[in-house]
Amino acid sequence: MTLQDTLSTNVKEAAKVIFNAELETVEFQATRKEFAGDITVVVFPMLRVIKGNPAQIGTEIGDYLVEHVKEVKNYNVVKGFLNIEISDAFYIAFFDTIRTNSKYGFTSANAESKAVMVEYSSPNTNKPLHLGHVRNVLLGYSVAEILKASGKKVYKTQIINDRGIHICKSMLAWQRFGNGETPEATGLKGDKLVGNYYVRFDQEYKNEIQELMSEGQSEAEAKKNAPILLEAQEMLRKWEAGDDEVVALWNKMNGWVYDGFDTTYKNIGVDFDTLYYESQTYLLGKEFVTEGLRSGVFFKKEDGSVWCDLTEEGLDEKIVLRSDGTAVYMTQDIGTAIQRVKDFPDVGGMVYTVGNEQDYHFQVLFLILKKLGFDWAKNLYHLSYGMVDLPSGKMKSREGTVVDADDLVAEMADTAGQISEELGKLDGYTEQEKQELYKTIGLGALKYYILKVDPRKRIMFDPKESIDFQGNTGPFIQYTYARIQSILRKSNMNLDVVLSDLEMPLHEKEKELIKQLELFPEVVQNAASHYSPALIANYTYDLVKEFNSFYQNVSILGAHTEHEKTFRVQLSNTVAEVIKKAFGLLGIEVPERM
């Protein structure tokens, strides 16, 4: 039972005994800094069932708590606020339960509960991953880890967009201009090599458009009639017909891209439990359109196309099958969702990590799945996020102006190295240790900078700013963790000593730090229910600020007594453990030394 639960129960008892009143709930808030107290009961809501002066009501309840609740040491009343002071003994005992619980803050999954499938990344196989993918991947991976920590069973997945005209554009350009180039021969990662040919296609396409326009065609006609585009469209038709030569080329080039993706995912530090491929799922869903027609969820227009009428829900009509019988993206997504539940029968909900330009699409998808009668459809969530901008402007894949994910990770490590060298913090490190540390700091800076912002907000990403060793940044938090490790090494102390029966007054900074640690389980649950890594990131920053205030105001290794020293070293160690857990939920490593 938490402190709030204990106090809530006793405040309700006080209301019953003193005022013969039944309180449904008790409202708490943090005590304001200018008043003595650790937690505040708000009296005003009680006036609905208890008549009288709020200050007098607070005083009588305060007297009751001091007499009946051993954790309550004292109280004061300011107007309608009952500020309660909690005994130091309670905080010491509570801290002991935290530090001896290796899973503190995390909840084990219930074997009976339904699983959640989290989809993220979902790239096209015609180019490398870029900065936009990075935000997607980091968000999806972190939300999956947070959901696991909150007690959910989680499957991480992606659907790889490995078919369509954009894939054929890269294939055709390589066929025309590649001269048999391979990743091995060029030394390029496979996804980069294929991406180069996607850019090359666009260049040739623009040249052909200009040529046709010079011959008298309009821009619209030229765009439609450019020979290279017509050839790419023919290649797509051959692929869909199963042409052996086209399918072999498709398999070869996609294989190069998958190898490249795997390297990038490993560099970023994310993984997946299962993969889906659009080439295998794009025909899924058509059978459910037939069933939906039969049940009245869909209707057919005169041209044979099939639609879903969502006007009663405030939306419009949505096509689910073209007049020629071919599927649209919505059809595919309907089928893929249903297939996932068939593949993993314990899945009871899904989280789709997709940019906010697809908000309407997912609103429609979720409604259609509900109309089709799938109970799990009420547990679908679109983790919608804003775009990532750079000071240099917007990125365009086909023009080759994207910020490549691998280049970004390398740049972050380089920047971390430059700043670390300037600060002169790496005496005694080998060159290999330095490079590993630079990558840890650089990746930590990148991930934290992106994840500390509410997912729905657009981000202006500044690499240099993200690697600041001061302020609300990943490196600042990593540095605090490393500082604690240094304290632990210097103390050379057995951290398993039990101090729960210790009777000593707590320093105000010790108590504030324990209060901050106490919030961690609630923050994890809130972050899971709101699908927001930002709540974890900013909690960690608050914890680190509180620790640094403690560090500056309280002597840890120079404590007056051995018991005091042990307690403070244990407290520091527990803070480090929570930092490590919290950063683990964000996919960020913490270095032992910096």
Please report, for the domain that includes residue 22, its CATH number.
Answer: 3.30.1360.70
Q: What is the DSSP string of 567-590?
A: HHHHHHHHHHHHHHHHHHHTT---
In a domain, 219, yes or no: yes
Half-sphere exposure of 576 (CA within 13 A, CB side): 22
Last residue of a domain, one of 244, 277, 310: 277
Which 8-state DSSP code applies to residue 130? B
Q: Are residues 268 and 174 in the same domain?
A: yes
Measured at the CA of 386, the angle between CA 543 and CA 397, to 5 degrees, comes to 125
Q: Which of 26, 31, 2 is nearest to 12 (CA)?
A: 26
The rounded average pLDDT for each run of 10 residues, N- to C-terminus, in the chain (594 residues) is: 89 97 95 94 96 96 96 95 94 90 93 94 92 94 98 97 94 96 96 96 96 96 97 95 97 97 96 94 89 95 96 94 90 94 97 96 97 96 91 50 83 88 78 92 95 93 83 94 95 74 82 94 97 98 97 94 91 97 98 90
CB atoms within 10 A of CB 169: 27
How many Å from the N-terminal Cα to the C-terminal Cα in the chain? Answer: 39
Rounded CA separation 384/235 (Å) = 34
From 86, 111, 134, the end of a domain falls on 86
Q: d(Cα 252, Cα 162) in Å, to the nearest integer?
A: 12
> Which tokens is 245 given?
């030569």
This prediction's pTM: 0.91
Residues 169 and 82 in one domain: no
**48: exposed, middle or buried (C-beta count within 10 Å: 0-12, 13-18, 19+)?**
exposed
Residue 512: CB partners within 8 Å, gap ≥ 6? 546, 549, 550
Give yes or no: residues 267 and 168 share one domain: yes
The answer to the question of residue 245 being in a domain is yes
Selection from 202, 210, 257 nearest residue 232 by Cα = 202
Look at residues 86, 108, 141 and tell me which one is the last residue of a structural domain: 86
Residue 7's φ and ψ, nearest 5 degrees, are -65, -40
**444 and 496 in contact (C-beta within 8 Å)?**
no
210: domain range? 164-277
pLDDT of residue 501: 58
Do 273 and 172 belong together in one domain?
yes
In a domain, 71, yes or no: yes
Within a domain: 436: no
Give domain status of residue 19, yes or no. yes
| Count of domains forming the chain | 2
Q: Which of 412, 410, 383, 407 is nearest to 395 (CA)?
A: 407
Pair 49, 27: CB distance under 8 Å: no
> Looking at the chain, how many residues does it have?
594
385 close to 406: Cβ distance less than 8 angstroms: no
DSSP 442: H
Question: Beta strand 274-277 with 153-160: parallel, antiparallel or unpaired?
Answer: parallel
Q: Is residue 243 part of a domain?
A: yes
Say if 332 falls within a structural domain: no
Structural domain contains residue 415: no
Residue 441: predicted pLDDT = 94
Q: How far apart are CA 147 and CA 475, in angstroms?
A: 25
